[in-house]
């Protein structure tokens, strides 16, 4: 799935996600997660989960990713992958899919264990900025 531009190197994205995962802070769950995404200007950004002793304050890897997106100039996410502590591809939780929708929209291409899917397929009928007056 590409938009006619150069093909996406999913191996490079997975490697960036694995690298981010290696720096996750997950002392409580022992479940490090890393994510990486391609931005519409060609940048690759990444993030990892950061846990907290007060579990509700823990940050998912996707939070770090969108924070890095904003801190490095913004843009739109076009392609996304997420890996677990073993480096295997996994799917973000529903909360994180909603977070990704804000910055990638329904056309964001996600790598899943079952292949490439758009965010629209992974979060059907999503609520977004277009619903606000």
Active site residues: 62
What sign has the CA pseudo-torsion 98, 80, 39, 58?
Answer: positive
What sign has the CA pseudo-torsion 129, 16, 68, 48?
Answer: positive
Return the closest-CA partner of residue 21 out of 61, 53, 59: 61
CB 31 within 8 A of CB 6: no
């Amino acid at each position: 799935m590409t938009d006619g531009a150069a093909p996406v190197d999913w191996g490079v994205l997975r490697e960036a996600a694995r690298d981010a995962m290696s720096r996750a802070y997950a002392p409580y769950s022992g479940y490090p997660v890393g994510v990486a995404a391609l931005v519409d200007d060609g940048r690759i950004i990444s993030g990892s989960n950061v846990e907290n002793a007060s579990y509700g304050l823990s940050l998912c890897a996707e939070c770090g990713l969108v924070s890095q997106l904003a801190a490095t100039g913004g843009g739109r996410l076009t392609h996304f992958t997420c890996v677990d502590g073993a480096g295997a591809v996994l799917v973000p939780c529903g909360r994180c899919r909603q977070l990704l929708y804000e910055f990638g929209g329904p056309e964001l291409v996600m790598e899943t264990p079952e292949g490439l899917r758009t965010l629209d397929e992974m979060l059907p009928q999503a609520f977004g900025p277009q619903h606000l007056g």
